[in-house]
Structure 1
Amino acid sequence: MPRTASKTTKKRSKPYTVTSSDTDPVPSASSKTKKSAKENDEKYKLFNKYANTSSGVIDPEGIEKLCSKLKVSHTDIKILMLAWKMKSERQGYFTKAEWRRALKALKVDTTKKLKKALPELEKEVRKPLNFADFYAYAFRYCLTDERQNCIDIETICQLLDMVLGSTFRDQVDHFVDYLKIQNDYKVITMDQWMGFYRFCNEISFPDMTNYSLELAWPLILDNFFEWMREKQA
């Protein structure tokens, strides 16, 4: 049988006092969505200023216009750093998704703000862990074909000067000189590219006393080492 509820005396609840915190407006999910949509709209409006209306992407001509507005050369390393921030997959082209990714991370939505953000972006990239990733990205970014896995010597020399020149001037200058006079290599692979970065960071230069031919260096660096020793003899 069901139990019979016992009689109890009801207590009158105390009147609820409204506090200031109860009346403070709390952003609703819809207002946050609207704000996010507005921010995206601003980024897309800026994107459309430089995008090709036919292809729907920022192409080399659009990048030239962007660089002109930012007052930087299209060969300036900051533009390559911006491409790195976008994770741009195709050299000379920025998609809308890549554009939004970078501008969201940099917290900018105008060309003026983007220009001001570039020096901070460079500081971010120059941090050792970031720079190693950026250095590898610079090589991949210059691969213009899906089946391509190496870069011609002339392009590599220009890329080395842009990416490493300000940090390892002597190493870059000598290695570029070597690349230009040697006849064994017409192209450079990613393994060789990354090997030179390791060389710059680990080997004392120009004496190279801690370089060993017995260690696992790319053969091109062994040849560079021998070439340097002959020059110094």
Structure 2
Amino acid sequence: MPVKKRKLPDSEEQGHKCKITSFTRPQVRGVKPNSSERQFSSKRCLAWFHKYAGPDKVVGPEAMEKFCEDIGVEPENIIMLVLAWHLEAAKMGYFTKDEWLRGMTVLQCDSTERLQSKLEYLRSELNDAVAFKNIYRYAFDFARDTNQRSLDMDTATSMLALLLGRTWPLFPVFRQFLEQSKYKGLNKDQWYNVLEFSRTINTDLSNYDEDGAWPVLLDEFVEWQKTRSASRLPCITNKREGERKLTAETKQLT
């Protein structure tokens, strides 16, 4: 049978020369500087970086935990993903000096207190459809191993839970499908289309076009879910019928 999955762009077929390639660069929107605040200082920002980086000249996993503790955010909080997007960080769990200076300059943050004052703004970006799409796309390259073209399934499901778990009603079912499926990971085309699917397809899957240009993964998910729902329907019907009979018999006895 012909594969219905869309063909990847040539640049993806040839591999990645640079790990982070596929998201729109972040821009700070709607944050106006307070005239009473002191001006941003690159020197202060660099000193703030070295507080965590030390001799390694990079904020690594252990230092990242301390950084998160200082700003009052759990490392697993989605805000940290939004911050990494602003810094254009190339590797999960690490911030380089260039990434730090570039991103914090755009955010105009040169201290813990200033970043804390921007946390609500970073969270609000998740409610902006365009910004969220860019963060979602960024997450694929950010989370995958450098020498891999796909996200391994454990990482993919964890990232999907972080990004879509609270807003997509079908996510728990989709996660079950992934866990029992033959797939060992998600490629970029599949990753991008899961977001589009979550935004456009009804919870009952009634508007899913099987002849559309969806990846085979999603065709299989829809077929799996419909089969699952159909097999549960007789059980529900029989249960309800049994309840009705029991109620009728009880009335006769009384």
The interval holding the TM-score normalised by the smaller chain is 0.7 to 0.9
> Is 2:88 the partner of 1:90?
no
Q: Which amino acid aligns with 1:187?
A: G
Aligned to 1:198: 196
Pairing of 1:74-153 with structure 2 (within 5 A): 74-145=75-146, 147-153=147-153
Structure 2 Cα separation of the partners of residues 154 and 39 of structure 1: 40
* Structure 1: 4+ residue segments shifted above 4 A: none
Over the aligned positions, Cα root-mean-square deviation in angstroms equals 1.5
8 A contact 2:152–2:185 mirrored in 1: yes
Q: Which amino acid aligns with 1:63?
A: M
SS in 1 for 2:58: coil
Structure 2 Cα separation of the partners of residues 177 and 162 of structure 1: 16
Aligned to 1:179: 178
> Is 2:214 the partner of 1:213?
no
Question: TM-score, normalized by length of structure 2?
Answer: 0.73
Q: Which amino acid aligns with 1:222?
A: D
Structure 2 Cα separation of the partners of residues 52 and 92 of structure 1: 16
Structure 2 Cα separation of the partners of residues 187 and 181 of structure 1: 12
8 A contact 2:151–2:185 mirrored in 1: yes
Q: What displacement does 1:93 show? A: 1.1
Q: Give CA deviations for 1:115-172 in whole Å, capped at 9, x if unaligned.
A: 2211101212431111111101011101222x3110111111111110111221x221
Q: What displacement does 1:108 show? A: 1.7
8 A contact 1:43–1:109 mirrored in 2: yes
Bigger shift: 76-85 or 108-117? 108-117
SS in 2 for 1:108: coil
Structure 2 Cα separation of the partners of residues 107 and 40 of structure 1: 9
Q: Which amino acid aligns with 2:80?
A: I
Aligned to 2:41: 39
Question: TM-score, normalized by length of structure 1?
Answer: 0.79
Q: Which amino acid aligns with 1:192?
A: Q
Q: What displacement does 1:81 show? A: 0.8
Q: Give CA deviations for 1:41-82 in whole Å, capped at 9, x if unaligned.
A: 0100110111131x2111111111101111211111111110
Structure 1 Cα separation of the partners of residues 101 and 166 of structure 2: 30
8 A contact 1:52–1:59 mirrored in 2: no
Percent of paired sites with the same residue = 33
8 A contact 2:152–2:184 mirrored in 1: yes
Q: Which runs of 5+ in 1 are unaligned?
A: 1-34
Q: Which runs of 5+ in 2 are unaligned?
A: 1-37, 231-254
> Is 2:219 the partner of 1:222?
yes
